[in-house]
Structure 1
Amino acid sequence: MSQIIWIARHANRLDFVNPDWFLTAEKRYDPPLSDDGFIQAQQLAQRLKTENIKHIFASPFLRTVQTANAVAEALDLDIRLETGLSEWLNPEWMTDEPERLSTPELKALFPRIDTGYTAQIAAKYPETHEQVRYRSAQTARCLAAEYWPNDILLVAHGASVLGAAMGFVGDQAKDEVKATLCSLVKIVRQESQWLLELKGDTSHLTTTEEVVRFV
């Protein structure tokens, strides 16, 4: 039997389009999608609409939930919030632990969230690059094993997309995966071997970023 692990990075975020948003935002490390980000999320949803995905897991940050929700609507699936897929809690980017919406607040905005799900792995501020890779890799492997043989989608951030992919194919992902905004990684299990089939595909998008930013 085979299993497919899809890993998507969130779509474009508001503070990338309008950097001044950060200066007055209540939750400055938890920006929503930008207008073009919502379009990208819809394009991702259309790309995945015909795939046999059974479960969607998303980082609990707003931009990843918004991206995952577009896909969940297209596939008629729930969203499970997984802190192990969270943003890299990098103290060089963040002066303190990022404040974000609570699960009940997210559930009120996105009814497809499954509040009965318990996250596999915690993300603790502050963390190094090695730590975010380790916990996202561990999270991805745990989810793949627990939901075997179902195909699953993980919606994460630049660093955690790369880390999740490394959880299956090791340094090959570090060398080959390009986690641009709203890109798609596809990893297929054939018997006991994991194969990297898509390395950050953006063919579903009408606009793409030129420089990869792991934030």
Structure 2
Amino acid sequence: MHDSNIDLTMARIVIYTSPFQRCLETALDIAQHFPCRNTTLRLELGLGEWMSEEFFNDPPSPASRLISRQQEQLARRQLASYKTASLTMPQVDYAHSSLCKEFTYPESYTDMVKRLEKTRMHCLQQSQEKEIAIFVTHAICCHALLDGFRGKQTRPLEAPYCSVSRIIHTKQPNIHTPPPSPPSNDNHHHPWNIDLLFSNIHL
């Protein structure tokens, strides 16, 4: 972001993260690099892991239970941050409502792609001027999310642990239109440019 001449003292940072623990920990680490007064964290169920039988032997617990548990954890961390005056915690948007309300198990690859695309559009529809959206999700979900910005499906690449991709809009996208169908294989123009793909040079 510094390379793009973005003034982080003026920009509003919104971090959308999968509620799974490893993503939440990553999101909190990311938030520490931004001014806490400008940074908001939102638990987004739609960014959750692919509910494939290959990864999960049994149906997951209800999504509401996971969200409640993670919100309680965040509240405790915020309280500890206030007590120590460390001010390292972002603002947590406890009122954020995910478009996705419950896990689908088993979930096909196609259904996962549809979920990520609907989630992407839902989050972008909430964006404001001078706002940077950060999505923290899982490896295979990263591919689906990026394909949404590409406007077409591509062959998945290896996503290194804690890698970063960056997408910049080349013109103001019309993000208030209804969510489209899953990314197709056509090549018509999309207003997004992926200028950093699965980079891990920061590690």
Quickly name the TM-score band, shorter chain normalised: 0.5 to 0.7
For residues 29-178 of structure 1, the aligned pairs below 5 Å read 52=11, 54-75=13-34, 76=36, 77-99=39-61, 100=66, 102-111=69-78, 112=90, 113-122=92-101, 123-149=103-129, 150-171=131-152, 174-175=154-155, 178=158
Q: Quick one: distance in 2 between partners of 1:194 and 1:89?
A: 28
Q: Quick one: distance in 2 between partners of 1:121 and 1:110?
A: 26
1:213 is matched with none
SS at match of 1:153: strand
Query: What residue ranges of structure 1 are gaps of 5+ in the alignment?
Result: 5-48, 206-215
Runs of 4+ residues deviating >4 angstroms: 49-53
Shift of 1:96: 1.6
Code of the aligned partner of 1:182: C
Q: Quick one: distance in 1 between partners of 2:120 and 2:76?
A: 26
What is the aligned residue count?
157
Shift of 1:178: 4.0
Q: Compared with structure 1, are the counterparts of its residues 127 and 98 closer, same or farther at alpha carbon in structure 2 (3 Å cutoff)? A: same
Tell me which structure has the larger Cα radius of gyration.
2
Code of the aligned partner of 1:114: D
Q: Which deviates more from structure 2 when the two are superposed, residues 143-152 or residues 156-165?
A: 143-152
Shift of 1:189: 0.9
Q: Over the residues paired in the alignment, what is the CA RMSD in angstroms?
A: 2.5
Shift of 1:92: 2.1
Q: Compared with structure 1, are the counterparts of its residues 105 and 154 closer, same or farther at alpha carbon in structure 2 (3 Å cutoff)? A: same
Shift of 1:109: 4.7
Q: Compared with structure 1, are the counterparts of its residues 109 and 155 closer, same or farther at alpha carbon in structure 2 (3 Å cutoff)? A: farther
Q: Quick one: distance in 2 between partners of 1:152 and 1:106?
A: 23
Identity of aligned residues (%): 25
Code of the aligned partner of 2:47: L
2:195 is matched with 197
- 8 Å CA contact 1:141–1:168 kept in 2: the answer is no
Query: With structure 1 as the length reference, what TM-score do the two structures score?
Result: 0.64
Of structures 1 and 2, the one scoring higher in RCO (CA 8 A, sep 6+) is 1
Greater fraction of residues in helix: 1
